[in-house]
Amino acid sequence: MKFIPRSILPKINPIMKSNLINTFVFGFWGVHENYLMTNYNIDSHSLLLTTFHILTLTWQYVGLFIISHDLHHAEKPNLYQQILGRLSLICYGGFFLEQFSEKHRLHHEFP
């Protein structure tokens, strides 16, 4: 019998699936960031482990940006998407949605 999974979350509404993925990315970022800020001593860990944390955190910050960027392009974001998108944008770079959206619109108008 041949088993090829099409997705980890197969028959779920696409909006619900994206909300679950975004929640996982945001939550994992929060836990990882909190751990590094409160418990990680760079002097007592190897260069390899520290590099791993830096690369993982970089990937997570890209995820935060993607979550907030999706909010810009959503036609009718639900309340959960708006809250998570706004929080992601604040955590990503301290930006507020209204100001960032205006700059984002100008970026698409004048690339």
Residue 89 lies in a domain: yes
Residue 40 lies in a domain: no
Helix residue ranges per DSSP H, 1-111:
14-39, 47-73, 79-93, 97-109
The pTM of the full predicted model, rounded to 2 decimals, is 0.80
Q: Look at residue 34 in the predicted model and tell me its pLDDT.
A: 96
Q: Look at residue 22 in the predicted model and tell me its pLDDT.
A: 93
Which domain covers residue 29, as residue numbers? 15-33+49-109
* Tokens describing residue 64: 């935060």
Q: List the chain residues with pLDDT less than 70.
A: 1-10
Q: Look at residue 35 in the predicted model and tell me its pLDDT.
A: 95
Q: Look at residue 54 in the predicted model and tell me its pLDDT.
A: 95
Q: Rounded distance, CA 47 to CA 68, Å?
A: 32
Type of residue numbered 88: S
Residue 7 lies in a domain: no
Residue 28 lies in a domain: yes
CB atoms inside a 10 Å sphere around CB 99: 10
Number of domains present in the structure of the chain: 1
* Tokens describing residue 54: 């830096």
